Amino acid sequence: MSLQEKIKKKKWIKKWEPHKHCLVCGISTAPEKEFCSTTCEQEYMDWKNKQKGKNRNMWICMIGIVVIMVVMMVVLPMLVGGG
């Protein structure tokens, strides 16, 4: 490896040292940190809680639809006279 290649490699390593990006805004942070600030952390937690609520509502709707379908399959034949 030539001297120029060694210098280039050292510059690259220094420029691209290990790091992570903030989960909210994408700013580069230290490898052990997930967020760049407490503001971003709070914003992420708020978003995560909102997602939990949306998922819960989706499951309630899905279960409700299945219950309605089962009830219709049982009740409709009785109304029509088949059962």
* Residue bearing tokens 């309605």: 68
Q: Please check whether residue 29 lies inside any domain of the structure.
A: yes
Q: Which domain holds residue 44?
A: 13-80
Q: What is the pTM of this model?
A: 0.60
Q: Please check whether residue 4 lies inside any domain of the structure.
A: no
Q: Please check whether residue 48 lies inside any domain of the structure.
A: yes
Residue 11 in tokens? 């510059």
pLDDT 10s digits, 10-33: 655 556 678 888 989 988 888 899
Rounded Cα distance between 83 and 67, Å, is 20
Q: What is the total count of domains within the chain?
A: 1
Q: Please check whether residue 3 lies inside any domain of the structure.
A: no
**Residue 78 pLDDT:** 85
